[in-house]
Structure 1
Amino acid sequence: MALVDAVTSEIGDEALLDLPAVDILARFQDGSLSPVDYMTALISRVERREPKVCALWDFRPEDSLAAARLSESRWQKGAPLGPLDGMPVSLKELLATKGDPIPNGTAASDMIPATEDAPASARLREDGAIFFAKTTCPDFGMLSSGLSTFHKLSRNPWDLSTNPGGSSAGAGSAGAAGYGPLHIGTDIGGSVRLPAGWTGLFGFKATQGRVPAYPYYPGRCIGPMTRTVEDSVLLMKSLSRPDWRDATSLPPMAESWDVAPMDLKGKRVGLMLDAGCGLDVDADVRDAVAEAARWFEAQGAEIIEINGLLTRTMLDGLDDFWRARFWTTMVSFDAERRAKVLPYILEWASAAADLSGARVSAGFDQMLAIRQAAAEALCGVDLLLSPVNPIVSYPAELPSPTNDPARPFEHIAFTMPFNMGDQPACSINCGFSQSGMPIGLQIVAPRFADTAVLAAALAYEQARGPITNWPEI
């Protein structure tokens, strides 16, 4: 029996597919596993589970197998293309890949093929990643939901009647369903962390500009969604390399992305259990986050209670500005094209038609006020802990937890401030609700302290232990 066959037989395809990427790549390197065998197993799992989960768009099994054969040959020659050679990676469909259209989650898309890779796509391709599929998002990425007029309804594998969150909905669903270990999302108000929290994944949003983004927009970040912290660190080594197209991107980090578990003794750790406004926090969520804080305290950290930093004026101002900006896109569409947009989003945006220029400008000022409040919350602490999502779950068919376009952002009050403030933040699973749904703990650090978030998350993950009850759809 060949060595590759022996390894696959020894642990089985299903167990193989649940291994972290760092382990899979080590097997590619030592020759004990072929990228072709791994891709074949992955395709089989996707084909079995995807009809229920609906996480993917543009799934390309034949192209992926052809790419895996080329990778296998390179590994056999000892000449891999890069550190991710042969590793399947899914990309949120908002991220451009040359020659492919960008649906933007909407039936109103023009479906014009992209002329170049986005920065994240380019870096991963350079390092040998295989883009086996894109993952779904809602219309224009404007919802924390798996609901879209272009894609099938994406569902949460932990309970198919519930929502994975969004807007990186498909990435969250794909990660929890075990479609390989590496997935890339985007985050402008929590769109990596929210679905990561609801699906049990680790999701990381770096300091603004750490991962080059194009097109750029204030608060917009690209980040990994994985089952382990170590796999997100692996992806950050590729994603964080510079790209001139993002005029706001930061210089490459002087320190290494190789992180060790943080020694928490003497660390000042803020605990924010109330965002200041938005949805009330479910008891299960509050209890899980408070228990995580007690673990940090037991490791020698000083826990400092922090009041909610967001006000109703801030959240409503952000809502005004985002509505107005999106409405400028809607008014450029003719009536036929506009009618294809999800009604919830169209109703939300159309309210901007009656907003004065002064009110929109005041909304932008509130975005700046959120930035200042986020900086103040991190002043004097090494880390900040909070819930990611205030609620345990909500129905898959809803566009948002409130299902109310007049109150669309009540659920992002814990996550969005750190997009506006540019701070690095993550979601890491800190337990399960009484109904069995994952709960996310948000760990935030001051600007530029990206590795502090990862190191703290790694320490917590090692103490928590691996999640062993991933859904088997």
Structure 2
Amino acid sequence: MHKSAAQDAVTPLHDLSAVDLLAGYRSKQFSPSEVLDDVLKHVAAWEPHIKALYAFDPEGARAVAKASTERWQNGAPAGSLDGVPVTIKENIATKGVPMPLGAASNTLVPATVDAPPAARLREAGAIIFSKTTMPDYGMLSSGLSSFHSLTRNPWDLSKNPGGSSSGAGAAGAAGYGPLHLGTDIGGSVRLPACWCGLVALKPSLGRVPIDPPYVGRVAGPMTRIVDDTALMMGVLSKPDRRDGMSLPAHDINWKALEKSPRKMRIGLMLDLGVGQKLEKEVRDISIKAAKAFESAGAVVTEVDGVLTREMLDGLDNFWRARMWDDLSKLAPEQRAKALPYIYKWAEAGAKLSGVDVVRGFNATMAIRAAAAKLFTDLDYVISPVSPVVNFPAEFAAPLNDPEKPFEHICYTVPWNMSENPAASINGGYDKHGFPIGVQIIGRRFDDLGVLGMAKAFEGLRAAQKPWPKPPKK
């Protein structure tokens, strides 16, 4: 147990933020090896219950921690994350580790190189001690997978952690160290962050180079505090020529998070008119967040959503066809190993016409135009992340219906297609103490501003509940 630089209470090493760990290394209060040992001990207590990890490598991590400890002893850290434990979502390539993409239908082939986000974290000295689980092909907001064990939510083991960065969300809430890396194409870092009480940033498209790049696909940090998300962004946003959609090199000062909401024009987006009905407890938390910003001097107005039924159905058609394209290349017996929910959903893609699929893809352009129009008069938008507080661990999605797979992503998916930065941050809790996230969305490329507003909200929101503890045996 060590005293955190930022807190009065004595905090276990595994619960310290990355910012506090680095301060502790600098002042020689503790070493990376001690921190990793504490994280691994904590993982051993939690992992049988939540099953968040894949390709867990404690011995490899101990060797990296030992080298980091020696560098800190010599006053020569290798980078801005030297000695900080981190997990990486299974679908971000790390050299030598196969990527099943959560699906038993995939052939396991070790990756030959680190993908850009993994390469940046390793270069910065982070200790990658494990990958984290995901559902089949990342196409579910769930901890359910045909390859991995069922991943559960540490706040309530009967509930889903969300997805597709399911293991990352569960690991973050359980305290598997401070930094976790996920990916997001429709809400996949923000939804698990919402249901696990974390901070997550879906950056502007191209801000974090990724391989393979795709429409709306980003990698983003999942942490417990905004400062740690910003710390990760300083590393992840460095350029990489492998991503032909990445943004030019920049000189963003990711530590410059002090931002006053005063006179900011904020839109409050509540009832969308599409998707699952917004639950009252979620609605109340979003309104409370808007009022907190208003009390800090922001000008808040209620705004309509940008998504229509036609757009959502178009995305569904486009993604079904894309998924079926992948599955159709597999031998029938291999294809049959995919999660039945995913198979049934994707199979409908085979019956779509070329015009149906193009019309579906064009929904991305329509969403982009609607978002641009919305932000002509606004600086930021506040909304729920998910329309529902939670759902059962065993479900593939809140409705658990492959005919209606995306009714719960209507608050998150528009910002992938429009390329706007969007953060999830815990806004409060339901009557049982389960976390409920709030989403803060900014104009394209204003990633730093979104984090600045999230940081301001950390100071405006009510006191946070203690993080969940492992069940007693």
TM category (shorter chain) comes to over 0.9
In structure 2, what residue type is equivalent to 1:439? I
- What is the match of residue 323 of structure 2? 326
TM-aligned CA distance change 1:65 to 1:13, over 3 Å: farther
> Residue 262 of structure 1 is aligned with which of 256, 259, 262?
259
SS of 1:162 mapped into structure 2: coil
Match of 2:12, SS? helix
Q: Distance in 2 between matches of 1:355 and 1:7?
A: 59
Residue in 2 that maps onto 1:90? 87
1:49 aligns to what?
A: 46
C-alpha distance in 1, partners of 2:296/2:212?
Answer: 42
Count of matched residue positions in the alignment of Structure 1 and Structure 2 = 468
Q: Distance in 1 between matches of 2:96 and 2:273?
A: 45
Is the contact made by 2:293 and 2:460 (CA closer than 8 Å) also made in structure 1? no
Deviations along 1:246-277, one digit per CA (max 9) or x if unpaired, are: 11100123331122332111110000002230
Distance in structure 1 (CA, Å) of the matches to 2:239 and 2:322: 28
Contact 1:387–1:414 (CA under 8 A) maintained in structure 2: yes
1:391 aligns with 2:383: no
Task: Give 1:54 shift.
Answer: 0.6
Residue 311 of structure 1 corresponds to 308
Q: Is the 8 A contact 1:7 1:33 kept in 2?
A: no
Tell me the TM-score normalized by structure 1.
0.97
* Partner Cα distance (2:166, 2:52) in 1: 7
Asked whether the 8 Å contact 1:387–1:442 carries over to 2, the reply is: yes
Measured in 2, the distance between the counterparts of 1:132 and 1:471 equals 22
2:440 is the counterpart of 1:443: yes
Alpha-carbon contact 1:237-1:257 (below 8 Å) kept: yes
Structure 2 stretches lacking a partner, 5+ long: none
Do the aligned partners of 1:242 and 1:249 also contact (CA within 8 Å) in 2?
Answer: yes
Where do 5+ consecutive residues of structure 1 fail to align? none
* Partner Cα distance (1:434, 1:468) in 2: 12
The residue number in structure 2 matching 1:78 is 75
Question: CA contact under 8 A between 1:190 and 1:415: conserved in structure 2?
Answer: yes
Distance 1:436 1:376 in 2: 37
> Would the aligned equivalents of 2:2 and 2:10 in 1 still touch at CA under 8 Å?
no
| Residues 260-307 of structure 1: per-residue CA shift (max 9 Å, x gap) | 332111110000002230001000000010011001111111111111
Q: 1:13 to 1:101 in 2, by over 3 A?
A: farther
SS where residue 380 of structure 1 aligns? Answer: coil
Q: Deviations over 1:196-251 (max 9, x none)?
A: 00000000011110000110100001000000000000000000000001111001
Give, in angstroms, the shift of residue 464 of structure 1.
2.3
* Aligned-residue RMSD, C-alpha: 1.6
Letter in 1 for 2:147: F
Match of 1:187 among 181, 184, 188: 184
Q: Which residue of 2 aligns with 1:111?
A: 108
Output one character per residue of 1:337-389: Cα deviation in whole Å (capped at 9) or x when no partner: 00110000000000011111111111111121111112222221010000001
Q: Which residue of 2 aligns with 1:121?
A: 118
Name the CA distance, whole Å, in 1 between partners of 2:323 and 2:458: 38
Displacement of 1:434 in angstroms is 1.4
Q: What is residue 162 of structure 1 aligned with on the other side? A: 159
- AA of the residue aligned to 1:469: P
Among 197, 202, 205, the residue aligned to 1:200 = 197
Aligned-pair distance for 1:465? 5.9
Aligned-pair identity (%)? 53
Aligned positions of 1:293-304 closer than 5 A: 293-304=290-301
Distance in 2 between residues matched to 1:14 and 1:163, nearest whole Å:
27
Among 376, 381, 385, the residue aligned to 2:378: 381
Q: Aligned partners of 1:238, 1:467: CA distance in 2, in Å?
A: 28
**Does the 8 A contact of 2:3 with 2:10 survive in 1?**
no
SS of 2:77's equivalent? coil
Q: Aligned equivalents of 2:463 and 2:36: distance in 1?
A: 24
The match for 1:67 is: 64
Work out the CA distance in 1 between the residues paired with 2:323 and 2:10. Answer: 45
Distance 1:247 1:466 in 2: 43
Equivalence for 1:225: 222
Query: Aligned with 1:17: secondary structure?
Result: helix
CA distance in 2, matches of 1:81, 1:276: 51
Separation in 1, partners of 2:104, 2:252: 44
Deviation at 1:463, TM superposition (A): 2.4
Structure 1 stretch displaced more, 385-394 or 18-27: 18-27
The answer as to 2:245 corresponding to 1:245 is no
**Aligned amino acid, residue 23 of structure 2:** A
TM-score, normalisation: structure 2: 0.97
Read off the aligned partner of 1:138 and give its amino acid letter.
Answer: P
**1:12–1:385: structure 2 CA closer, same or farther, 3 Å change rule?**
closer
How many Å separate the matches in 2 of 1:116 and 1:426?
A: 29
Select 1:271's aligned residue among 251, 265, 268: 268
Give the Cα–Cα distance (whole angstroms) in 1 for the partners of residues 359 and 419 of structure 2: 20
Aligned to 1:425: 422
Partner Cα separation in structure 2 for residue 66 and residue 320 of structure 1: 47
The answer to whether the Cα contact below 8 Å between 2:179 and 2:228 also exists between their aligned partners in 1 is: yes
Distance in 2 (alpha carbons) for counterparts of 1:356 and 1:166:
30
2:124 maps to 1:134: no
